[in-house]
Structure 1
């Protein structure tokens, strides 16, 4: 069940949206203390945020900028203003979509589904362990803001490492992942590729992420990232 955090100070509209979305099996949490919006964002860990622009204390654009410095959580703006400049501003600050009040609740639901589908698709295209991320679409490795190129074999091995993070991956499993009907793959090929991965990780300062279980295989430790 996806969790939605609703940041809306109109209590009547807040209840209407909450009741409607809960009827469609969403978990909806509403902000009640607008002096502690960011605290609730961090505690809630929502899958999507519905963010009103006209709020007490700070406006929605302020919260949008602050959230985007820390998180890529999908955000849909709710606003009573329909002018193009404000919509562009919202998208430039990192909003995923924009809904103008008054709106039909069915339209909002459709936009929520669309934004979550994109977010889930992006999640499927990458694997993460701490601040280390394997980017499937570009076959690259990212650590914080640094990007590193991977060969095809290195990418296959990292994919398996992160898929089975914390557990032992046998050499047989790695050899199967490397198997290519056009290229001969042997035990030495595996050792060479894992050594290269370790060297690349060490360039990030990640020296103990991969450990050898002699006679069995290897372990990728996500807590070391």
Structure 2
């Protein structure tokens, strides 16, 4: 039985969502005080967070960043903000998915089930495996990429994307395959979201001393071209 923290300041919407989720067996908690959401998050220790952006005291971006500093719990944004930059900002801050209001409960529930299955269910074993090529190493527990003595933290989405590229080293992985790896159904995710995440991964690789090893080719996708024993700077 998975615990969901629902952070939504529209009382009618939050009541409908909670009632429907509890009907499917989820344990749902809503913050008693929007001024103390982070503290309540720590105490409740949810398995998944549903998070609005427009909130009293602290907006959803601040809360998403705060939650991500304390936990790798999956976060799904539910917001009336439909601009591309709002979605990109949420993903950059560590959100796992983004649903634009208005939405049906069936869509919300399918997103929740897919996320729970990926993080805690049949696909979770794969995600708990470390991946390495020579000195390049990603840790599934700490979500860090290490090269030699230098390390950088990765967001959960960056970790999944880089792991997929490392598993297919020296071979192109299509944009669709990468988007399905992270978001289950690439049709629900803006194409720029993937580009933003790949750009951040490239920058972090450069910062730990690994040069331009991610290649892009139109029509083929992305490829990690890392060779053990040679200078990758």
Deviation at 1:102, TM superposition (A): 1.1
TM-score by length of 1: 0.57
Q: Tell me how far apart the structure 1 counterparts of residues 16 and 25 of structure 2 sit (CA, whole Å).
A: 15
Which ranges of structure 2 fall in alignment gaps of 5 or more residues?
149-233
In structure 2, the residue matched to 1:36 is 36
Say whether the 8 Å CA contact 2:7–2:49 is kept in structure 1. yes
Aligned Cα RMSD in Å? 2.3
Which ranges of structure 1 fall in alignment gaps of 5 or more residues?
127-134, 150-225
Q: Tell me how far apart the structure 2 counterparts of residues 97 and 36 of structure 1 sit (CA, whole Å).
A: 24
Once superposed, which parts of structure 1, at least 4 consecutive aligned residues long, lie more than 3 Å away?
139-149
Deviation at 1:148, TM superposition (A): 9.5
SS for the counterpart of 2:25 is coil
SS for the counterpart of 2:15 is helix
Q: Tell me how far apart the structure 2 counterparts of residues 99 and 62 of structure 1 sit (CA, whole Å).
A: 18
Say whether the 8 Å CA contact 2:130–2:138 is kept in structure 1. no
In structure 2, the residue matched to 1:75 is 75
In the alignment, does 2:126 pair up with 1:125?
yes
For 1:47-126, what aligned pairs fall within 5 Å after superposition? Answer: 47-120=47-120, 123-125=124-126
SS for the counterpart of 2:114 is helix
TM-score by length of 2: 0.55
Q: What whole-Å deviation, never above 9, does each CA across 1:16-68 have from its counterpart, x for those lacking one?
A: 00000011111111112111100110001100000010000110000011111
Number of aligned residue pairs: 141
Say whether the 8 Å CA contact 2:6–2:31 is kept in structure 1. yes
In structure 2, the residue matched to 1:12 is 12
Answer with 1 or 2: which has the greater Rg.
Answer: 1
Q: What whole-Å deviation, never above 9, does each CA across 1:173-197 have from its counterpart, x for those lacking one?
A: xxxxxxxxxxxxxxxxxxxxxxxxx
